[in-house]
Structure 1
Amino acid sequence: MPQPTTVNDCMRRQPLTIRPQTNLVQAVNLIVEHRLTGLTVTDESGEVQGVLSEIDCLRGILASIYNDGDPEHALVSEVMTRTVNSCSAGDSIVEVAQAMLDTRQRRRPVLADGRLVGQVSCRNILWALMEHSRRKLQDQRK
């Protein structure tokens, strides 16, 4: 039986991205509206600058409320995580899943030649692993 799939088989292609200079409230609205756990932050040329998680947003909104009372003044660049743990489309989802557990990060930008080509989340990997298990079980029943 082949190993579970690669990132290419379960990643979201053309993920929503956000710019560092975007207002944090707008970013939160985008995350909530699209039911995402976070966004990849890119500059005008599409180069990855960081990631913005729900936790980053929560930290930024609370800090803004405590400091000046107005979250409208916070920018994505002020709260995003700049250390980017990325992966490639050909990486094993098992290895990427383990890396997510090790770093406690729920998503990875997928890069090819330094450019963003997709994003993979824990949810994508869970789906792929469950599909693999279902197929394996079906094959055993035959």
Structure 2
Amino acid sequence: MLKVRSIMTSNPTTIGPNAKVWEAANVMLDNRISGLPVVDQSGDLLGIISESDFLRRNEIHADAPHGLWRDFFSSRGGLAEDYAKSFGNDVGEVMSSPAVTVQPDASVETAAELMAEKNIKRLPVVEGSEIIGIVTRFDVMAALVRSLASHCAERADNDIRNALEAELSRQKWGDSVTLHVADGVVTLEGRVLDSREKTALHVAAENTIGVKSVNDRIEVVVPPDMPVPPPGFYL
């Protein structure tokens, strides 16, 4: 089972809670990242600030009226949080806390489910309270693609073997070898009495769709000379 540890980015870029919001924005832009873990002086994770936090800024919505229904149904705490995120100057006032996290030995499937359930794009990876990495949707997608490619390669090997076995079963000379397929490479093993059989077996293998190369281990063996019958033996 693939673990988060194997796909995460180690030693991620972080920021402190007393940094200014504009500093966090510049760090994200300079590093081409969409979120920053917020840590204290000991490296313990406090929260996370992401691009979605900037979408709620008062500078962007200065003239936008507040929705009356949203204000009516929101809790006092929720409205206070919105206000802090809209007008706060320090990262600690704007960040989302506590951050949703994942353990390094959790499965990639677990990380993907957390991202989908919480509708987030990144997960800090923590051991205890210390952040040791970060895993993003991109990381999960890349792992998925590698897994699919591996499975496709495995299926392709089976397809190659089945196709070649079917071809050899149609030939009178095709039953003298055993074959193995790994990563598109066909290995032929066995003994034949005629070098022309060896050539035909090699041709059949290399002409099978999907074959990258042929490892030919076929031996041509010469039968011992037949004894010469005595004169008049057939008379």
TM-score (norm 2): 0.53
1:86-110 Cα offsets, whole Å, 9 max, x none, are: 1111111111111111111111110
Q: Partner of 2:38 in structure 1? A: 41
Q: Partner of 1:12 in structure 2? A: 9
Task: Say whether residues 1:57 and 2:54 are aligned partners.
Answer: yes
Q: What is the distance in 2 between the residues matched to 1:139 and 1:88?
A: 31
Gaps of 5+ in 2: 64-85, 158-235
Q: What is the distance in 2 between the residues matched to 1:77 and 1:134?
A: 42
**Larger RCO, structures 1/2 (Cα 8 Å, 6+ apart):** 1
1:32 aligned partner, one-letter code: L
Q: Partner of 1:111 in structure 2? A: 126
Return structure 1 stretches of 4+ with deviation > 3 angstroms: 64-67
1:68-118 Cα offsets, whole Å, 9 max, x none, are: xxx9x7111111001211111111111111111111111111011321110
Out of 75, 79, 92, the position equivalent to 2:94 is 79
Q: What is the distance in 1 between the residues matched to 2:104 and 2:97?
A: 21
Task: Say whether residues 1:139 and 2:154 are aligned partners.
Answer: yes
- Give the deviation of 1:64 after TM superposition: 4.9
Q: What is the distance in 2 between the residues matched to 1:88 and 1:108?
A: 10
Q: Is the 8 A contact 1:6 1:89 kept in 2?
A: yes
Q: Partner of 1:92 in structure 2? A: 107
TM-score (norm 1): 0.86
Q: Partner of 1:101 in structure 2? A: 116
Q: What is the distance in 1 between the residues matched to 2:54 and 2:22?
A: 9
Q: Greater CA radius of gyration, 1 or 2?
A: 2
Q: Is the 8 A contact 1:108 1:121 kept in 2?
A: yes
1:105 aligned partner, one-letter code: I
Q: Percent identical across equivalent pairs?
A: 27
How many pairs were matched up? Answer: 133
1:17-61 Cα offsets, whole Å, 9 max, x none, are: 0001111111111111211120100001101000011011232xx
Q: Is the 8 A contact 1:64 1:74 kept in 2?
A: no
Greater percentage in helix: 1
